[in-house]
Structure formats: structure tokens, C-alpha cells
Amino acid sequence: MQPRLSKGALVELERRVDEKFDLLLTRLLAGAFTGKHMYIHTDPVLSLPGIFTQAVSEEGGTVDVDLLQNIAGVVKDLVNKQREDAKATTKRRIHMLLEDVRMGRIQPENFRNHVEGELLDLWGRITSNVERVVNTETQHAQTMGIKDGIEQINLVRGISDPVVVFVPKQDAALCDECRRVHLIGTTPRCWYHSEVGTDYHQRGEDRPSWHLMHPHCRCALATVIPGYGFDAAGRVTFIKDGWNELKYQRAVGGSLGGVDDRRNWKE
């Protein structure tokens, strides 16, 4: 007897996919999340709202609920797109296996084993895709929380276009693109807030993005307030009242000095 996929089986298949993604979204937007067959490797105690709230608070700002809801809405849409892709891909693969049975490439009694093997591989790839989306968007939520806090604290000082840096973790894993865009030697490169891109960074572009450089990017957004700059080792330090590190970097170029060079520099 030839195996077939009934309407009831299709409904059950979609129900199980929905169950996994509903659990994912509930825990992503409200708490930790793992599913029985889908494991998303992020900190289980930090939901997206928690990450955003902590990032804003650490910069001394207050949570913009509308901004948080907009970020969460985008994440929900992206995860739901993965949901629909998972349903379509799963059904397509089962139909292809049924065709293999019909054409004699798979024996009917072996159909179930083939389905289980194919779905195990398929859900591994689906999980990887979802994990990438989740990690990228929670990372973006953290950056946007820091960004919002930076904007608030600088506005209090009367600064509408603050100076920002994306501080890389300078180790063997630092990628060439992050090094090129974010560093001058070992010193974080300064940007005006208005210069940072709003779209995803494309390799070769000369400016950073609020979405950071790539998935799993470890560069941390920070602000450099007036009066502060960097020493020769790239550490933040007070230079003098009114100091603008960005102007100094762009005037001097790639031969940055230390604290004394900065204090003696004339525009």
C-alpha cells in the first residue's frame, strides 16, 4: 500500500510547527526559551525586552515603550516568516519522499524511516536559521537600547548629535571588517550619531551600522562625551574641557598620539 499524506496529517504537521514557534516567541519576548526539538543558544534569563531595558538603564536612560514594542514587532515578524518557511519546507520535503515511493526509489515500508531522517536533518537547518535571526535581533535590541540611552543622556547635556564609538573586543577572533571600520590602530574610531547607517552593514562600506557589522558581532556601542578621548593604548580618559575626540581623529588621521599629544594639539 502506497503511503499518503492526508489532510489531517497536514493539519497536525502545521500544528506542531506552530506549537514550537509559539513557544519560541512567548519565551523570546517574555523570558527564556527552549523547545523540545529547537534549542536557541542565548542566555535563558534575558528576553528581548529584558536586554533592551538593561541596555537603556545602564546608559542612564528610561525605557521608550513605543520603541521597544516596535523592535519586538519586527522580531515577531521575522520569526513568523521563519515559521511559514518551516511549514512550506517540511511539507515540500515529505511530498518529495512520497514521490520517491511512487517512483520506486523508496520502498513503502521504509517511508517512515526516511521521513524521520529527513525531518531530523531539516529541523536542524531550520533551528540554525531561527537561531541566527534570534541572536541577530536580540543583539540589535541591545544596541538600540544603548543607542536610546546615549541619545537621552546627551540631550540632557544639550548635544543633539553625540559622538559614538563601536568598541571591538581586540583578540584573535576580531574580524578584518570590524578592525577596518571601528579602529584606528588600537583606538576606537569616532563617529557622529547621524553618520551611523540604519540598514544592515555591507562588506566594504566605510561607515558602521546600528545593526552592527555581522551576526555575532562583539563590538559594543558607547558614547564619548566632550572632554574625554583616548590614551595611546585606546583607553577612555579625560583630556581637557571642551575636547572633541572626533575632530582630533579626523584631523590627525592614522598617526594618533597619546594624552599629551591630544592636550597640546591645536585645531
Q: CA 72 to CA 4: how far, in whole Å?
A: 40
The tens digit of pLDDT for each residue in 84-113 reads 998 888 888 888 888 888 788 888 778 778
DSSP 138: H
The model's confidence at residue 35, banded by pLDDT at 50, 70 and 90, is very low
Shared domain check, 205 and 105: no
The chain-wide mean pLDDT, for the chain, equals 85
Q: CA 245 to CA 247: how far, in whole Å?
A: 6
Comparison of pLDDT for 113 and 224, the residue scoring more: 224
Shared domain check, 114 and 47: yes
Q: Is the pLDDT of residue 229 over 90?
A: yes
The model's confidence at residue 2, banded by pLDDT at 50, 70 and 90, is low
pLDDT at residue 195, rounded to an integer? 96
- pTM, two decimal places: 0.75
Listed residue (197, 177, 170, 215) closest to 78, CA to CA: 215
How many structural domains are present in the chain?
A: 2
Q: CA 220 to CA 185: how far, in whole Å?
A: 17
| Domain end position, chosen among 108, 142, 176 | 142
Shared domain check, 238 and 115: no
- At residue 165, φ and ψ (nearest 5 deg) are -135, 155
